[in-house]
């Protein structure tokens, strides 16, 4: 298990390009299950979760090849008989649940291991199941698996009890091949959902309203071939912008769309950073004094839960008291214990963390527990005095493409220390 050795304090200065979004690429790869023609994707990030999904799709008869131009080409084989996503792969990455909708719609059946919980929460899929039942699928839960069966899905009107990103994606994909019209209400509105709809429409689907609470899908008999670019990873990019503010640096993020990060931009300006933007870039300068600011996570377009841990690391460097309210997941404060060991002053009560600052952080050996908590510890290591070693950074490798190289290109002193292979 590799670790990062970070020597602080340092300032992040320079230009960095956002990779393609992990959370847009994951559903995009599962679209290969909906068509028997070739699918070509551009800007797929080189992160572990996508390698895991490619392995899972291979078991379902999908061949994937890296193109010489950096694209990823996926093609379903002739054998459509497989329909199982086994526990040993699903437990590695709960986003594997995204094969449930496409398999049920295209192959008429699916056997997908229940994802089980993860470090940040229980992660139920009741809405995915209720939606597939509304589309006419028979759905059973047996021995830790979701089993679905459907001759042909029937268009329906379904309202989510709460906005769910992968729930919206699963049902939008399934409804593309249903008979008749489907209306999905109370949908999640994340940009990754809009990007998925753009891909499906490129292949011949008829979808309107993706990115809004109500999505209309007119079912078609089959989908065709096409090429599609994954949008920039707003969470990866937001991580570097937060790093710029907290290290009093100056970073220009290229290839990212400001409209996908409006709540973060507002929060950075409120703490005192200077933010300028263009069509496809965002620049953050951490000038002068930083002041405390409350944040409360919410479904898009609210403040992203996936940036909560990183922003909390910044708040340790702001003057005053900030309250961080996590409303999406029940256990997303695991970075707090490690930040405390570095000298932060944070008190957690239920789903609210109270951060007092500024505190001088000191380098320490810390352990990553989940993807975004790991990023928070790396950012803290950039401002801490001395050496911080972040262990178990396989969590980081799940969602950040070449993080140490990008940070080094911005002036940070970060070294990856190879460890024994990850289990
Ligand atoms: C997606 O997870 C993202 N993952 C997560 O990013 C992100 O944190 C999350 O959306 C929220 O923005 C991918 O897109 C692959 P949800 P997802 O269903 O779809 C509850 C990262 O760091 N819920 O929108 O699993 C659930 O418990 C990852 O990149 C139900 O109750 O999240 C949670 O409280 C972490 N029943 C809330 O909804 C359901 O059927 C939002 O979850 C589904 C969800």
pLDDT tens, position by position, 62-75 = 999 999 999 999 99
Nearest CA to ligand 1 atom 6: 306
Nearest CA to ligand 1 atom 31: 124
Q: What are 9-28's pLDDT values in tens digits?
A: 999 999 999 999 999 999 99
Same domain, yes or no, for 272 and 409? Answer: yes
Neighbours of 223 (CB within 10 A): 24
Rounded mean pLDDT of 44-65? 95
Pairwise CA distance, residues 383 & 288, whole Å:
15
| Best probe residue, ligand 1, of 47, 97, 123, 173 (max atoms within 8 Å of C-beta) | 123
pTM of the entire predicted model: 0.97
Ligand 1 atom at minimal distance to the Cα of residue 370: 22
Final residue before a domain boundary, out of 173, 198, 229: 229
Classify 21 as helix, strand or coil. Answer: coil
Total domains in the chain come to 2
Is residue 371 one of the residues assigned to a domain? yes
On the question of pLDDT at 421 being above 80, the answer is: no
Ligand 1 atom at minimal distance to the Cα of residue 129: 40
Q: What are 340-398's pLDDT values in tens digits?
A: 999 999 999 999 999 999 999 999 999 999 999 999 999 999 999 999 999 999 999 99
Cα(247) to ligand 1 centroid in Å equals 30
Ligand 1 atom at minimal distance to the Cα of residue 95: 15
Token couple for 179:
């008979």
On the question of pLDDT at 119 being above 90, the answer is: no
| Best probe residue, ligand 1, of 114, 167, 236 (max atoms within 8 Å of C-beta) | 167
Same domain, yes or no, for 15 and 27? Answer: no
Final residue before a domain boundary, out of 211, 229, 247: 229
Is residue 195 one of the residues assigned to a domain? yes
Is residue 306 one of the residues assigned to a domain? yes
Do β-strands 138-142 and 109-113 pair in parallel, antiparallel, or remain unpaired?
A: unpaired
On the question of pLDDT at 122 being above 80, the answer is: no
Same domain, yes or no, for 145 and 199? Answer: yes
Is residue 365 one of the residues assigned to a domain? yes
Burial (0-12, 13-18, 19+ Cβ within 10 Å), 79: exposed
Cα(59) to ligand 1 centroid in Å equals 25
Token couple for 116:
């089980």
Pairwise CA distance, residues 73 & 70, whole Å:
10
Token couple for 126:
């009741």
Q: What are 259-296's pLDDT values in tens digits?
A: 999 999 999 999 999 999 999 999 999 988 999 999 99
Same domain, yes or no, for 342 and 204? Answer: no
Cα(123) to ligand 1 centroid in Å equals 7
Angle in degrees, CA 23, 24, 26, rounded to 5: 70
- 10 strand-pairing partners: none
CATH code (residue 391): 3.65.10.10
Active-site residues, by number, are 118
Cα(31) to ligand 1 centroid in Å equals 19
Do β-strands 157-159 and 181-185 pair in parallel, antiparallel, or remain unpaired?
A: parallel
Looking at residue 121, the DSSP 8-state letter turns out to be B
HEC states along 318-385?
CEEEEEEECCCCCCCCHHHHHHHHCCCEEEEECCEEEEEECCCCECCEEECCCHHHHHHHHHHHHHCE
The answer to whether the CB of 242 falls within 8 A of the CB of 310 is: yes
Cα(166) to ligand 1 centroid in Å equals 7
Is residue 120 one of the residues assigned to a domain? yes
Nearest CA to ligand 1 atom 30: 124
Same domain, yes or no, for 78 and 90? Answer: yes
| Best probe residue, ligand 1, of 165, 298, 302 (max atoms within 8 Å of C-beta) | 165
Pairwise CA distance, residues 183 & 174, whole Å:
12
Same domain, yes or no, for 131 and 65? Answer: yes
Is residue 422 one of the residues assigned to a domain? no
Pairwise CA distance, residues 64 & 125, whole Å:
28
Same domain, yes or no, for 45 and 174? Answer: yes
Final residue before a domain boundary, out of 229, 252, 276: 229
Cα(165) to ligand 1 centroid in Å equals 6
Domain span at residue 312? 3-19+232-417
Nearest CA to ligand 1 atom 13: 23
On the question of pLDDT at 423 being above 70, the answer is: no
Token couple for 196:
């998925």
Q: Is 143 left (phi over 0), alpha (psi -120 to 50) or beta?
A: left
Nearest CA to ligand 1 atom 25: 166
Mean pLDDT of the chain: 95
Same domain, yes or no, for 32 and 102? Answer: yes
Is residue 423 one of the residues assigned to a domain? no
Ligand 1 atom at minimal distance to the Cα of residue 300: 12
Residue 365: per-residue pLDDT: 97
Nearest CA to ligand 1 atom 26: 123
Which strand (E) or helix (H) includes residue 126? Answer: helix 126-134
Cα(163) to ligand 1 centroid in Å equals 9
Same domain, yes or no, for 115 and 242? Answer: no
Same domain, yes or no, for 301 and 252? Answer: yes
Same domain, yes or no, for 259 and 325? Answer: yes
Angle in degrees, CA 127, 31, 399, rounded to 5: 75
Residues with CB under 6 A from ligand 1: 23, 26, 95, 121, 123-128, 162, 164-167, 188, 305-306, 328-329, 371-372, 399
Q: How many separate helices (H) and strands (E) can be counted in the chain?
A: 14, 24
The answer to whether the CB of 365 falls within 8 A of the CB of 9 is: no
| Best probe residue, ligand 1, of 328, 351, 376 (max atoms within 8 Å of C-beta) | 328
The answer to whether the CB of 404 falls within 8 A of the CB of 415 is: yes
Same domain, yes or no, for 78 and 8? Answer: no
Shortest CA distance to 186 belongs to which of 209, 203, 205? 209
């Amino acid at each position: 298990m590799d670790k990062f050795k970070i020597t602080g304090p340092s300032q992040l200065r320079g230009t960095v390009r956002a990779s393609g979004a992990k959370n847009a690429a994951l559903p995009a790869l599962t679209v290969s299950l909906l068509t028997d023609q070739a699918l070509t994707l551009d800007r797929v990030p080189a992160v572990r979760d996508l390698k895991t999904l490619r392995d899972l799709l291979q078991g379902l008869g999908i061949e994937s090849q890296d193109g010489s131009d950096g694209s990823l080409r996926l093609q379903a084989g002739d054998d459509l008989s497989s329909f199982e996503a086994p526990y040993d792969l699903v437990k590695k990455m709960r986003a594997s649940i995204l094969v449930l909708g496409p398999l049920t719609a295209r192959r008429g059946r699916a056997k997908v291991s229940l994802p089980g919980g993860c470090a940040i929460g229980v992660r139920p899929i009741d809405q995915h199941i209720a939606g597939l039942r509304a589309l006419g699928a028979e759905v059973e839960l047996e021995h830790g698996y979701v089993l679905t069966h459907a001759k042909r899905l029937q268009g329906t009107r379904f309202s989510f009890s709460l906005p769910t990103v992968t729930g919206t994606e699963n049902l939008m994909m399934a409804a593309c091949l249903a008979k008749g019209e489907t209306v999905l209400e109370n949908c999640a509105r994340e940009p990754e959902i809009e990007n998925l709809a753009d891909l499906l429409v490129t292949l011949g689907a008829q979808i309107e309203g993706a990115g809004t609470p109500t999505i209309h899908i007119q079912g078609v008999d089959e989908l065709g071939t096409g090429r599609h670019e994954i949008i920039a990873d707003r969470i990866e990019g937001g991580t570097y912008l937060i790093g710029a503010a907290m290290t009093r640096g100056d970073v220009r993020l290229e290839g990212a769309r400001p409209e996908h990060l409006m709540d973060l931009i507002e929060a950075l300006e409120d703490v005192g950073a200077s933010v300028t933007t263009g069509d496809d870039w965002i620049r953050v300068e951490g000038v002068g004094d930083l002041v405390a600011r409350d944040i409360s996570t919410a479904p898009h377009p609210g403040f992203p839960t996936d940036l909560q841990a990183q922003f909390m690391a910044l708040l340790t460097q702001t003057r005053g008291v900030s309250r961080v309210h996590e409303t999406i997941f029940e256990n997303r404060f695991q970075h707090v214990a490690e930040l405390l060991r570095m000298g932060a002053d944070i008190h957690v009560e239920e789903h609210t963390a109270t951060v007092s600052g500024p505190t001088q952080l000191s380098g320490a050996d810390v352990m990553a527990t989940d993807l975004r908590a790991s990023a928070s510890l790396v950012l803290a290591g950039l401002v801490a005095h001395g050496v911080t070693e972040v262990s178990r950074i396989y969590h980081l490798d799940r969602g950040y493409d070449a993080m140490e190289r990008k940070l080094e290109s911005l002036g940070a002193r970060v070294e990856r220390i190879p460890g024994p292979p990850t289990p």
